[in-house]
Amino acid sequence: MTRLNNYALGKWIAGEGEGQTLYNAITGGVVATASSKGLDFKAMCEYARTTGGLRLRKMTFHERGRMLKALALHLMEKKELFYQISWATGATRTDSWVDIEGGIGNLFAYASLRRTFPDEPYCVEGDMAKLSKGGSFIGQHICVPKEGVAIHINAFNFPVWGMLEKVAVNWMAGVPAIVKPATVTSFLTEAVAREIIASGILPEGALQVICGSANGILDYVTNQDVVTFTGSATTGKMLKAHPRLLEEAVPFNMEADSLNCCLLGADVKPGSPEFDIFIKEVQREMTTKAGQKCTAIRRIIVPENMVEDVQLALSKRLAATQIGDPQVEGVRMGALAGKAQLQEVHEKVAQLNKTQKIVYGDLENFSVTGADKNMGAFMSPILFLNENPFKYTDVHNLEAFGPVSTIMPYKSLEEAIELSKMGKGSLVSSIITADDRIARQYVLGAACMHGRILVLNSDCVKESTGHGSPMPLLVHGGPGRAGGGEEMGGRRGVFHYLQRTAIQGSPTTIGNITHQYQYGGKYIEHEAHPFRRYFEELEIGETLITAKHTVSESDIVNFANVSGDNFYAHMDATALDGTIFTGRVAHGYFVLSKAAGLFVDARKGPVLLNYGLEECRFTKPVYPGSTIGVRFTCKEKVDQEKKTPEDIAKGIVKWLVDVYDETGETVAIATILTMVKKKNQD
């Protein structure tokens, strides 16, 4: 009999004792046993903090991002092995694609974010706060990695995605992880973890995995740790109340199963593209992963005059969904993860059946292709009808975590919005409508109770990822019953693992701490023009004070002729009554263009090209006769990796362009980016 191992303290360890037996969801046969008995959870937490955390924190965001990309590429090469193992969880190939390649996709997504962060182990957040009249005392927020460990307690339904969607974020932030997958499907998580460890891509201590029970691990958390939980609200609430979490004020993110809903707009009629989209979407969400998704559609909210049409069309589509062994051609729905899950769903169906009626499906009488339905954890999709969802409210409180959903009618959009909120908070809601006015009213009315809302119509259906697919760069979580948490969300998710600290001091000191020039800081001047200096040679705060130029009416006319911008404020002095201008004013883009003419060194040198403009503001009118000059300062340097060995070694330099007039006041301020060659081409 196969024995799953735990990965702890840098080695694979088989737990002591008999352990828990894990079964094949299709055949009912034994897959493996798992135990964590004998593991030292306290030592594991300390090992993560002092070994994995120390090494991750020394890496920059760019290095961590490249690490994630390398790991994603490695796992993609091994994906067929994972697909083979995933079959035993009851998943079809499509189900497994969401879990396996969806999980790996999270690694790719967070790797791609590296260029939005500095090439530093930390990042600066937001704008500088001017804290004094003269500008000599300022504030800024800096975000550094927490010096703890992320403990992820995951659900059984997505053994790969559940792990990778979380660790991608904490690794990007520079924090190690201990992953506790649900034991029932941990054999797939263990297989992926083995490939991760074998790759050698991660620093030692960045990942540990517990396949057996992790009961007791929360006794050792500290205020620098982060705990996340995905699963039932009952278990989540119990964990959230752990005394150690409260004592140490440990961040706890809960993503609980919720009673998600899908709404059909009153504008949609049978035979329309949107009606077909609705039926397909609901059927897919009921049967994907045999309905074992925290984002599955549990409540189907439709106009009261459309109930019969929806019931007939959806029942017909469910009847065409072949249940059985996913390895058999034509099978579109596999099994639940195990007999325990099957029994739990049956019990919830029986409870729901007391207040609403089954209009499609049967718990006992259904056929299974290529397998023995009594040995595997198979069940038929169950479709309920609740004709009075405001009176019979079990549907808004009980969740059968399987292929089970309920149709309910509404009379008005306001009533539909109220029904959507009666689930007391969900991870996702969706609305299918061709009328954007209906979509707007629903979104604005329902958003407070849903973590995500999908608005689906024929314009986007071909490329839509669907109701049930959280996206790495958007938040995943929801209020109330859904747990009140938030994970993923692109950059936003990374900040969950960073400590935000306000720092105060002089602009020069804050700039030296953050490696980002702060406005008002001291200048560093060199004899050589900054465009003559290579990427490595440039210093933050290095400044060129340019020659000056007196603006004339000819400048304004010539720029209008070249640009085609003949806006009245520039060209018609008689049209300025009622404006803020006292005369013809120079184009803002002329001021910026002339600034470039003042600070650019035209000769060929290390500067390869102008990379772009991040921000620009015109703060004071420039009239003919005004004299402008530029303070051109190296604000920030961002390294770039070589795409190929033959690629030019280079980096991006951000420059503060401060254009001022004869009074010394700033008239325009911008950040421009240049691509600058490195002196060392290795």
- Give the whole-number percent of the chain exceeding pLDDT 90: 77
Mean pLDDT of 508-535: 91
Mean pLDDT of 469-497: 87
Task: Report yes or no: 283 and 260 within 8 Å, Cβ to Cβ.
Answer: no
Task: Report yes or no: 501 and 142 within 8 Å, Cβ to Cβ.
Answer: yes
Helices (H), 447-494: 491-494
Quote the tokens at residue 355.
């207040």
Q: Are strands 650-660 and 549-550 parallel, antiparallel or unpaired?
A: unpaired
Task: Please write the tens of the pLDDT for every residue from 426-462.
Answer: 999 999 999 999 999 999 999 999 999 999 999 898 8
* Confidence tier at 485 by pLDDT (50, 70, 90): confident
Mean pLDDT of 570-598: 92
Partners of 475 in the β-ladder: 488
Q: Which of 229-233, 313-317, 650-654 has the lowest mean pLDDT?
A: 229-233
pLDDT of amino acid 121:
94
* Confidence tier at 470 by pLDDT (50, 70, 90): confident
Count of beta carbons in the 10 Å neighbourhood of residue 269: 13
Q: At what angle do helices 553-563 and 588-599 cross, to 10 degrees?
A: 100
Task: Please write the tens of the pLDDT for every residue from 89-121.
Answer: 999 999 898 899 999 999 999 999 998 898 899
Mean pLDDT of 402-430: 95
Mean pLDDT of 546-563: 94
Q: Is the dihedral of CA 526, 527, 528, 529 positive or negative?
A: positive
pLDDT of amino acid 165:
92
Partners of 492 in the β-ladder: none
Torsion of Cα atoms, 543 then 140 then 652 then 633, to 10°? -10
Higher pLDDT, 571 or 503: 503
pLDDT of amino acid 547:
94
- Give the whole-number percent of the chain exceeding pLDDT 70: 100
Mean pLDDT of 208-231: 93
Domains recognised in the chain with CATH numbers: 5-121+144-257 (3.40.605.10), 260-482 (3.40.309.10), 523-677 (3.10.129.10)
Length of the chain: 682
255 is catalytic: yes
Average pLDDT over all residues of the chain: 93
Angle at 602 between CA 597 and CA 603, to 5 degrees: 165
In sequence order, what E strands does 132-176 have? 138-145, 150-153
Angle at 139 between CA 136 and CA 143, to 5 degrees: 145
| Secondary element (H or E) of residue 469 | none
Task: Please write the tens of the pLDDT for every residue from 612-661.
Answer: 998 899 999 999 999 999 999 999 998 888 888 888 999 999 999 999 99
**Dihedral pair phi/psi, residue 54, rounded to 5°:** -60, -40
pLDDT of amino acid 1:
58
Mean pLDDT of 27-54: 94
Residue labelled with tokens 């650019």: 600
Q: Are strands 549-550 and 627-640 parallel, antiparallel or unpaired?
A: antiparallel
What's the rounded Cα separation, in Å, for the pair 266 and 200? Answer: 55
Mean pLDDT of 411-426: 95
Quote the tokens at residue 507.
């602009």
Q: Out of 255, 281, 285, 399, which one is annotated catalytic?
A: 255
Task: Report yes or no: 65 and 174 within 8 Å, Cβ to Cβ.
Answer: no
pLDDT of amino acid 235:
87
Task: Please choose, from the candidates 80, 84, 90, the residue with its C-alpha nearest in 3D space to the C-alpha of residue 26.
Answer: 90
**Which residues are within 8 A (CB) of 288 and not within 5 positions of it... i.e. 6 or more apart?**
94, 95, 98, 296, 468
**Which residues are within 8 A (CB) of 383 and not within 5 positions of it... i.e. 6 or more apart?**
286, 311, 314, 315, 318, 358, 359, 360, 361, 404, 405, 406, 407
Mean pLDDT of 333-346: 92
Burial of 441 (0-12, 13-18, 19+ CB in 10 A): middle
The pLDDT of residue 682 is above 80: no
294 is catalytic: yes
Task: Report yes or no: 587 and 621 within 8 Å, Cβ to Cβ.
Answer: no
What's the rounded Cα separation, in Å, for the pair 469 and 289? Answer: 12
* Confidence tier at 463 by pLDDT (50, 70, 90): confident
Q: Out of 123, 143, 262, 294, which one is annotated catalytic?
A: 294
Quote the tokens at residue 625.
């006769």
pLDDT of amino acid 513:
92
The pLDDT of residue 336 is above 70: yes
pLDDT of amino acid 168:
95
